[in-house]
Amino acid sequence: MERLKQAIRERGNVLSSEVLKVDTFLNHQVDVELMGAVGEEFARLFKDDGVTKVLTIESSGIAPSFMAATNLNTPLIFARKKKSLTMNENVYVSQVYSFTKRETNDITVSKDFITAEDTVLIIDDFLANGQAALGLIDIVNQAGAKVAGLGIVIEKSFQDGRKRLEEEGYRIESLARIHELEAGRVTFIDELVTNNN
């Protein structure tokens, strides 16, 4: 998705060979027009998959997921990292390790919101090692529901998340696939393909 890649190039901040900061448009300040386009693209990619729910983790996945759910005309559910006082024990729980925060969180979703009849589209802001995606998949599996696929805004293709998920048979649609973060510069996978032809 060229518009997203342009935002990453112009407004992203490469902090290291593994960390890309995108808080100017995705996970702190939200560019609602760009997220609208992201949501439309996810809806286009998964429109024929019978999606009944969109699932993400708070908080960075909420903006793109909200836009996708709006376009798919389905409810959006976000897994909570902190269990609120109003959530009883009737929840699905999975553990997720955050690479950027260096911590493990229990994520929870009420059993009222995902059932065995659901087909769930999982959306997240980043795919790196696949921990968040696997935690969300675990919740969908606990519910006996079906995973339609995973919509990823930005994929760090130099990490093993895609490989792990594809080996388990999951469909992944990433809108921007990064090959490398080096010397303050982002290189995308499709640029390599173009440059090698």
Residue 156 labelled as part of a binding site = yes
Is 159 labelled a binding residue? Answer: no
Cα–Cα distance between 14 and 2 in angstroms, integer?
19
Q: Is 20 labelled a binding residue?
A: yes
Please say whether the beta carbons of 63 and 35 come within 8 A. yes
Residue 50 annotated as part of some ligand binding site: no
CA distance linking residue 139 with residue 92, whole number of Å:
6
Distance, in Å, from the CA atom of 63 to the CA atom of 88, rounded to the nearest integer, reads: 26
Nearest Cα residue to 154 out of 136, 175, 137, 169: 175
Nearest residue to 157 (alpha-carbon basis) of 190, 133, 184: 190
User: 45 labelled as ligand-binding?
Assistant: no
According to the annotation, is 134 in a ligand binding site? Answer: no
Residues in a beta bridge with 126? 154
HSE (CB half, 13 Å, CA atoms) of 9? Answer: 11
User: Is 27 assigned a ligand-binding role in the annotation?
Assistant: yes
130 is in an annotated binding site: yes
* Residue 155 CB partners (closer than 8 Å, separation 6+): 126, 127, 161, 162, 172, 174, 176, 177, 178
CA–CA separation, 3 and 163 (whole Å): 26
What residues form the annotated binding site?
A: 20, 27, 128-132, 156
Q: Could you tell me which residues are annotated as the binding site for xanthine?
A: 20, 27, 156
**Binding site members for 5-phospho-alpha-D-ribose 1-diphosphate:** 128-132
